[in-house]
Structure 1
């Protein structure tokens, strides 16, 4: 009965979304405050209904109710509770229910915390977001019903894909969806602004926290997915330019450009049309990612659906919302008033350069991802676009962007002095050279690509710290005064500092793990030891270990540095009897200078085992840098200035802003 209640709640949520998508928009057009207020009530009601539907499905998973087709296909009574819960969204139907739950959550958050918004803008944004919800409610109810019954029910379920039975993958989809769906807020504000015909610094300040929150969640989701691929798949890498990986990277790049563009609108009232366009593009890329993962056009360990009918429905939604937004932009965009002027060498100019590079990078990844699909659809045969293409095109695009990231914050608004900025960064340049030489010496060899990558990372980190030093006038005023200024640095400025510093650490980690990586695939017998990456790796043997719903073959390896034992590593090869599949669980010894990574393979007739050994330098820097970058985004969200409207320019006889909305 609980399942039927959830199904009914989902139908009611569709009806409420239709009300939310019509009444507030009509009220905004007529200037009726009671009609616009309906949007707040409807958004809250819609969230509660979708939450009830989602909890109903989750309860069916926890209770192992195999009379529900979705549960029977994706769960098993022997699964640990965590993966029973994660199974709720570890499939196509459940994941789409999670999608609309997060969409409704953002709408409810706007209804509750958007009191500072002009009422007309808020009503239009809620209305636009509701229509996005209507499209996905129809998609779920017509093609992907998670509440369908199975009669007669089986005695037990088929189980969940073993690759998804992992903490990293349990939390990866929710964070990824919080990012994907979160960009719907930027889309809703952009369409609302186009309908109202007004974009100003206040609009940018209202858009930024929602966009920043989505960017943070998407970053966490991407990093969790990379971390899972690193230790779960046993191949020693963290990114392979898989098409579904690219599907999440494209909106991340566009969203990063949007964040920086919105700053220019807020600070200088410039780039307004471009920022609105980026908001439409970013959510369009999120919808495209959904289409790629759930249409069946891609084959990937990350992909869920393989049903072309569902893919056609999502493609129609993509054309409706993204295409409709671009048509509206073509019609209303030219009416947006121009903003302030600025010189190319200025803070605005550096942010515009940032936008151009990120946009070209996103377009490059999009082209490389879609080209094989387009070529095959036109009868051109199958081609593969993989890491060689992306590394040769994408990486060089990033080099000037990283170099400029240290310079941009040093420039003044409207008109900057590049010479003065470079003088302030001379110390940073010297520190970058020293740090690069030191790390290269520790890693043991001078590789041109590695030296360039480390130099850019050190340059960005030193430049970021130099900008903070300039902000507090370090060494230019007494130390006590600098400390007083440090305490007064806004959270938003701290956020930028941490985000840029975290990105610098990530660049170092990416460089070290790619350029100085060592790997070997060996056939080892129990009792044998080999020298690898400066260590002695001894293979002690393999033992069978039962798990809660799997049987593991656990290898045991002793790692020595000279005669001293420094670690015992136990990689596993797991077999899940219910699903009839195997997974690899790598064992990793992590230090500040690198990861020693072991994966054990199949047994041979002579008792030996295939063992894969990797040494990935500076991997910890990559994960730690990502955490620092996310922390920077979190500090920026907490800056109370983003929760206040931009200062209003009051002139005699001017029409109040609320009336113009």
Structure 2
């Protein structure tokens, strides 16, 4: 009965979305306040209905209701409760329901917190959001019903993919979807602005917090997914330029550009057309990612193995959403008034360069990801584009971006003195050169590009701290005055500094783990020792351990240095009988500067095992830095200027009809 209730609430949510997407939009076009007012309660009702549907599917997983086909295909009675719950979104239908749930939550949030929005703009934003939801509600109900029954019901289920039975999967997909779907709000604001023919600083003030929230969630989701791949897949890496990794990374890149572009619109009433285009393209890339993982185009641990007909439906949604919005942009964008002028050397100019580099980087990732698919589709041949391509194209674009990031925040709006700014950063530049030289010396002439990149990471980190010090006039006024200035700084300024410094830390981690990683692969027997990076690993033999729903071959490794025991690592090789699948569980010991990483492979004759050992320099800094970036986003969101949006007077003024042009 509860699955039928979930199905009914999905139908109800679709019907409410149809009302929300039509009546308020007509009201905004005709100036009918009563019709526009329908959008707010409709958004709340649509969200409530979707929450009930999601709760019904979760209940079916928790109680192992094997009359529901989705539960049969992705759960098992012996599975731990955590993975029963996370199994809800560990499949095509359930993850789609989570996608729509987050979409309706964002719509309800706009309805609840957008009190200062002009009624016509609010009605149009919620209307566009409803039409996006309609596409996915119809997709679920017609092709991917998560509540489909099966009869006769089997005694047990098929279990969840063992690779997904991990605590990281409890948080990675929801965070990723909060980022993906969160950009739908920026998209809805962009379409609403095109329909109204008005983009102004007040509009940017309303858009920024939603864009920042989506960016923060997506940052956390990508970082958590990278961490999960690092410790779960057992290959000692944190990023492989997998196509499905790339389709989550591209919205992050363009979303970063959108976030900075919206600042220019708010502060200087410039880059309005470009910002609208970025909002459309960012969400279009999110839809593209949804299509890729559900179309059957790619084989990946991240992808859902579904039939291509479902992918065709999402492709149609993508064409309608992206193509229709771009057509509207081409029609309405020329009517938008140009904004303020600025010199190339200015804060605005730095942000424009930031946007151009991020957009170019996105294009290189897009080309490398989809070019092999086009080649296969049109010629039938297979082409592999891997890390060498991305390292050769993406990295040279990002290094100038990092160089500019330390300079941009210190430049004045409208017109700046570049020589003066660089002069204030001379000690930072000296420290960066010394860091690059020290890296070169310590690594005995290691890769030149790695040493230069490490210098750039130091440049960005110290430049960010220097800019913050100048804001509070550190060492120029008494310490008490600097403290009062620091307390009075807007939280958005603190958030920016945290995010930029976090990127510098993450960048250092990426460089260290890529350039100076050490690896040792050996076949070992009990009592054998393997040396790596000044440590010795003694293999003490494998043990068979019974897990909740798996069998584990655990291989204790005693860690020694200079003959002194430091502890024991426990890498595992697990076998899941239901899925008949093996997985690896890496054992990781970290001191914050580097990781010791151990994995056991296949058993060999005579009680021997394959053992892979890695020394990963600075790799923990990747996730420390990502955490600081996400924290910077949260701190910025707490800034009252972003939480209250545009002033009520500005909202009332914006509510007046736009003059004829």
TM over 0.5: same fold?
A: yes
**Offset of 1:193 from its aligned partner?**
0.2
Paired residue secondary structure (1:656): helix
Aligned residue for 1:21? Answer: 21
2:329 aligned with 1:329: yes
Q: Map Cα deviations across residues 163-222 of structure 1 (whole Å, 9 max, x no partner).
A: 000011222111111111100000000000000000000100100100111111111111
**How far, CA to CA, are the matches of 1:154 and 1:453 in structure 2?**
57
Instruction: Name the counterpart of 1:577.
Output: 577
Aligned equivalent of 1:658: 655
How far the C-alpha of 1:467 sits from its partner, in A, is: 0.5
Corresponding residue number in structure 2 for 1:525: 525
Partner of 1:12: 12
Answer whether contact 1:20 1:43 (CA < 8 A) is retained. Answer: yes
**In the alignment, which residue of structure 1 is the partner of 2:458?**
458
Q: CA offsets, 1:131-173, max 9 Å, x none?
A: 0000000000111011000000000000000000001122211
SS of the counterpart of 2:343? coil
> How far off is 1:521 after superposition?
1.0
Q: Does 1:410 align with 2:407?
A: no
Task: Tell me the distance in 2 between the aligned counterparts of 1:565 and 1:322.
Answer: 60
Per-residue CA shift, 1:561-590, capped at 9, x if unaligned?
Answer: 112212210000000011110110000111
Corresponding residue for residue 314 of structure 1: 314
> 1:355 and 1:648 mapped to 2: Cα distance?
31
* Other-structure match for 1:200: 200
Which residue matches 2:512?
512
Distance 1:333 1:37 in 2: 28
Q: Structure 1 stretches of 5 or more lacking a match?
A: none
Q: Where does 1:33-52 land on structure 2 (aligned, <5 Å)?
A: 33-52=33-52
- Per the TM alignment, residue 31 of structure 1 is displaced from its structure 2 partner at its CA by 1.6
Distance 2:490 2:441 in 1: 38
Q: Output one character per residue of 1:326-378: Cα deviation in whole Å (capped at 9) or x when no partner.
A: 00000001111000000111000000000000001001101111101111110
Query: Which whole-Å CA distance do the structure 2 matches of 1:408 and 1:648 have between them?
Result: 32
Offset at residue 607 of structure 1 (A) = 1.2
How far apart are residue 435 of structure 1 and its match? 3.8
The answer on whether the counterparts of 1:266 and 1:646 sit within 8 Å (CA) in structure 2 is: no
2:555 is paired with a residue whose SS is strand
- Is the contact made by 1:506 and 1:622 (CA closer than 8 Å) also made in structure 2? yes
State the Cα RMSD in Å: 1.5
Which structure 2 residues correspond to residues 170-249 of structure 1 after superposition, within 5 A? 170-249=170-249
Distance (Å, rounded) in 1 between the aligned partners of 2:118 and 2:95 = 34
Cα distance change, pair 511–325 in 1 and its aligned pair in 2 (3 A): same
Give the match for residue 65 of structure 2: 65
> Following superposition of structure 1 onto structure 2, how do residues 202-601 of structure 1 map, counting pairs within 5 Å?
202-438=202-438, 446-601=446-601
Q: Is contact 1:103-1:133 (8 Å) kept?
A: yes
Contact 1:197 1:332 in 2 (8 A): yes
Q: How much has 1:442 moved relative to structure 2?
A: 5.7
| Cα distance in 2 for residues equivalent to 1:305 and 1:478 | 63
**Paired residues of 1:206 and 1:643 also in contact (CA < 8 A):** no
Does 2:172 align with 1:161? Answer: no
| C-alpha separation in 1, matches of 2:447 and 2:27 | 64
Conserved? CA contact 2:518–2:616, under 8 Å: yes
Structure 2 unaligned blocks of 5 or more: none
Structure 1 629/56 Cα, relative in aligned 2: closer, same or farther at 3 Å?
same
SS at match of 2:542: strand
- 1:98-137 deviation per Cα after TM superposition (whole angstroms, max 9, x unaligned): 1110000000111111101111111100000000000000
The 1-side partners of 2:485 and 2:171 are apart by 39
Number of residue pairs the alignment of both structures matches: 658
* Contact kept? 1:449, 1:515, Cα under 8 Å: no
CA deviation after TM superposition for structure 1 residue 436, in Å: 4.1
C-alpha distance in 2 between matches for 1:265 and 1:36: 27
- Give the CA deviation at 1:649: 9.6
The alpha carbon displacement at 1:484 in A equals: 1.1
Which portions of structure 1, spanning 4 or more consecutive aligned residues, are displaced by more than 6 angstroms? 647-650
